[in-house]
Structure 1
Amino acid sequence: MKIGIPRALLYYRYHVLWETFFRELGHETIASPHTNKTLMDAGSHYAIDENCLSSKLFFGHVSALEGKCDAVFVPRIANYGKDGVMCSRFEALYDMSANTFRGHEINFITCNVDLQQKCPEAQAYIMLGLSLGASENEAKDAYQKAYAAWQESHEKHIQEEEAKLHDDRIKILVVGHSYNLYDEYIGKPIMKGIEQLDAVPICSDAVDLKQAQTDSLTICKAVPWIMNRELLGAISKYHNDVDGIILLTAFPCGPDSMVNEMIIRRIKDRPILNLLLDSQDGNAGIETRLESFIDIIRFRKEARL
């Protein structure tokens, strides 16, 4: 069986886990292409206007997999219990996808992670494995290997980002969800732009996720969304080691708009640039803002010497 995985949203967080899990069960995986203008336009066509840019891109990636696989994997992730809830779009993503593409030649498979309903992640993947014809032991073994591979990959990523802190150049913590940071069309140009300005981007997802939950409490104790709490934890971790902070948000993300405003009000000792990504063509405006932001930081550092 060939399983398609949209290269959007939680792909950048969990793709190692997903690909390893399906491979261990004997299935082939195929990811959709990197985001481009065609995929963005397709996503805008299939999504309602109120969807955030990241959700629109997801539907574009789903459409790109039509006819190229036996089924498309779209997980439904509601919450991780006391650790926090996900944005409601992640809980509804499978249902939105199945309804949006009804009548198309696309089959969907899912797993349902919902600790509040006593369905933890491991159980969700075991049930997915059973639905694909594996035995319970095979599914359990596949998940354990997949989780170990994901954990190893994530720890390596943390080490790589932490190594950048030893660089003598200006360091910028880029605070954003991984699906925005690493998207080839909306996030990567910003990371490259920072590097072209002779500065070092530090990615906010390079944190121990459990520790980040705890660290987030030093900034705010009342954020319900688990992924935004992780971003706060990243600010707490890297705050003293960076020269500035960029908040990277896809329009019109509700959780980010609320949390970013709180960050701007509470973090006063580091320059902050709030970048809002939308579907308009061209990055000229963003490039100008990046250049000005980093120039200001550079001038301040030189003035202190």
Structure 2
Amino acid sequence: MQRNYVEETAVITEELIAEYKSYLYKEEKSRNTVSKYIRDIRAFSAFMDGGLVRKENILAWKEKLQATHSPASINSMLAAVNGFFDWLQLPELKVKPLKIQREIFSKPEKELTRTEYLRLVETAEREHRHRLALLLQTICSTGIRVSELKYITAEAVKTGRAAVDCKGKTRIVLLPSELVRVLGRYCSSQGIGKGMIFCTKNGKPLDRSNIWKEMKYLCERAKVEPDKVFPHNLRHLFAKVYYEMEKDLSKLADLLGHANVATTRIYTMESGVKHVRQLERMGLVFAGKQKPHNDDYVVNNRKRRN
């Protein structure tokens, strides 16, 4: 049905996008994923401006994006549009992603350190934002996603285990004993006997943007660069600390809920500071006056003998 629709009109309409959105939800895609896909498809639709859908138009959009977006963002947008064309049974309209060389170092200006994380927690406690301090520690000590906070319940605290369901897959997240202790004390003080611990007054899961705003509030007071402070960076810090201790990517992938170890590698990238220190310890750069080259040494000796 979708194929005939496009062949007859060759135009992406809001009705067609709405149908695809409904399909994504039936496929049990997360709300954030669906929103992202639909936003990217609408961006392409706006570029088309009601024009006919042709392969050359998609290639032109891809080229235009290269002037304003990073390669990773472009590939993400292309993946969304390609998925849309798959659903329409029009694979011939799909375009190839950009080739990106895998980065081996993370950006130091984006890397949240353990010391900075501790300052954020201490600042939250000092500012009497106890729930925020616990939220930071919960994400960072378990490695869960922000969207998985809703599975941290009073019942989970009692058992020390949270059953987390993400993208149709369930995994068990173990809660450290110290986290169980502080969360249990918080539940008692707030009268939380069952259900979610981190939720709004209406009992809904905390929104990602609200958590981000609260974290940004701490930046200046904790003397931490704002670019380093966002919820997902706490998950990255968990991954780096775990990997430094265990050096086990497969186990870390299980803990993070990754289906592919390649994704986990991204979480364990370092800024390169340690690598530079290791290069310096090799001592292959000679400070001060360099020793003469062997050929120069031979020539000079001959001159002295003559």
**Shorter-chain TM-score: what band?**
under 0.3
| Structure with the higher helix share, 1 or 2 | 2
Structure with more of its chain in strand, by fraction: 1
TM-score with structure 2 setting the length: 0.24
- In the superposition, the TM-score normalised over structure 1's length comes to 0.24
